[in-house]
Amino acid sequence: MSREQRGPNEKLGAVLALAGISNAGLARRVNDLGAQRGLTLRYDKTSVARWVSKGMVPQGAAPHLIAAAIGQKLGRPVPLHEIGLADADPTPEVGLAFPRDVGQAVKSATELYRLDLAGRRAGSGGIWQSLAGSFAVSAYATPASRWLISPADTSVAREAGATEGSGAPLKVGHSDVRKLREAAEDARRWDSKYGGGDWRSSMVPECLRVEAAPLLLGSYSDDVGRALFGASAELTRLAGWMAFDTGQQEAAQRYYIQALRLARAAADVPLGGYVLASMSLQATYRGFGDEGVDLAQAAVERNRGLATARTMSFFRLVEARAHARAGDAAAAGAALKASESWLERSREGDNDPSWLGFYGYDRFCADAAECYRDLKAPGQVRRFTEQALSKPTEEFVRSHGLRLVVSAVAELESGNLDAACEQGVRAVEVAGRISSARTTEYVKDLLTRLEPYGDEPRVVELRERARPLLGTPA
């Protein structure tokens, strides 16, 4: 379906020429991106010609897929207004801005919070389905560079106007901030135990809309404001992490960008580094190892002399993950060594941030194992995975499931099919207890690696056990 604009879309034609994409080439790219998201599209060169010469505007997700296709060729995000399709959807850029002005930062974050709920009411995937294909790792470049140049605002005090219906502005105090921090702590526990898709975890966006947004738009002193921005940044980063865990990469990217901006307003450099580390893990997971390195190193460099030893250890560990995905064994090894050194220097009485409570030697070993998996060193994977799996898992169920899959891959690459299937069965059992698209993807990867042994009874049994998890017919 399409609707007609007034006259040719000269902007789209100009950008296509700049990118060197033919009409047929764009149609093919858009169809391919749609197929990756479960959409059956049949655009051809004639469709594109109509978009350019007659100003026809394709409906649904197509404008965003067009922008994504062109953006992939240009190597940067392409907003809809640049290609003359901005009025196809008024919401595509929400959450991607990193404003210099703190007032605009509040507006940018609260707009995103409201948009998410509107998307949930809409059903069928909401706004994030309409934004499918709009993730671009290059969208992190401006936020990261602005944060590096100036990781704190000079003042965040705010005087709000009258609250609708009350006649008096909302006065924010430290007790309000404590409630947000308690909500973040509760959500972190649920996320680790049940996955980002659990219904209790999905209440985080609701908390941002109902609790955080009115506070951010209220009146507060600089001291209270810093604390408020910090608590809101923690919740926003957590919403991004949960979206990442459930496969909503476009939503995760927007939450992360806003979380970084809020951390800057909080003047909390370690928290900003934590957001950058989350961005790095997402970039690495999606195959952008080099960009993942840049983001992790930004976290490391800004936090020298500021963050605790355990925090620095985690940042260097995330850097190692990115180096390994990029195939740089020497750099990954050096980052792992630095991470372990920082961890050994940490002490029980250090003033570690509460959000780092998940990180200890077992997590270091788990991520080190993933580094060596990417570097195809199964012996090292097995060594680190054994240590990672030695800790009780009642609190970190998802992590345990991921570690079991990594262990299974290492056993398979070492020629131990029985052990690989045994670990795989355990991983499927854990994955069935949580709601995590990321864990399911790990299981799928393991089953793909086992395809050459498809007729083996142990592999057949594992595949059968995984059917309910993967939603495949018997």
pLDDT tens column, 412-462: 988 999 999 999 999 898 888 877 888 888 899 999 999 999 889 999 999
- 163 in any annotated domain: no
**In terms of C-beta density within 10 A (0-12 exposed, 13-18 middle, 19 or more buried), how is residue 469 classed?**
middle
H or E element in which residue 78 lies: none
Question: For residue 211, is pLDDT > 70?
Answer: yes
Q: How far is CA 39 from CA 33, 97, 124, 243, 438, in A?
A: 8, 28, 13, 21, 21
Question: For residue 206, is pLDDT > 90?
Answer: no
Instruction: For residue 18, give the CATH number of its domain.
Output: 1.10.260
Please identify, among 65, 88, 111, the residue that sits at the C-terminal boundary of a domain. Answer: 88
Q: What is the model's pLDDT at position 436?
A: 81
- 419 in any annotated domain: yes
- Least Cα distance to 446 among 435, 433, 431, 434 occurs for 431
* pLDDT (average), residues 57-84: 79
Please identify, among 64, 88, 112, the residue that sits at the C-terminal boundary of a domain. Answer: 88
Question: Residue 101 corresponds to which tokens in the numbers above?
Answer: 């002005």
Number of domains in the chain: 2
- 248 in any annotated domain: no
Q: Is 56 helix (H, G, I), strand (E, B) or coil?
A: strand
Side chain identity, residue 41: L
- Least Cα distance to 426 among 372, 471, 455, 385 occurs for 385
CB 424 within 8 A of CB 402: no
* pLDDT (average), residues 299-305: 95
Contacting residues for 24 by C-beta, under 8 A, at least 6 apart: 44, 45, 48
Question: Residue 441 corresponds to which tokens in the numbers above?
Answer: 């993807």
Helices (H), 195-268: 203-207, 213-216, 222-245, 249-265
- Least Cα distance to 105 among 10, 193, 236, 195 occurs for 236
167: left (phi over 0), alpha (psi -120 to 50) or beta: left
- 399 in any annotated domain: yes
Q: What is the model's pLDDT at position 121?
A: 36
- 381 in any annotated domain: yes
> Lowest mean pLDDT: which of 29-33, 168-172, 222-226, 325-329?
168-172
Q: Considering only residues 11 and 333, tell me which one the structure prediction assigns the higher pLDDT.
A: 333
Question: For residue 64, is pLDDT > 90?
Answer: no
Please identify, among 32, 66, 88, the residue that sits at the C-terminal boundary of a domain. Answer: 88
Q: What is the model's pLDDT at position 403?
A: 87
- 219 in any annotated domain: no
CB 258 within 8 A of CB 277: no
Domain span at 435 = 374-474
Question: For residue 4, is pLDDT > 90?
Answer: no
- 312 in any annotated domain: no
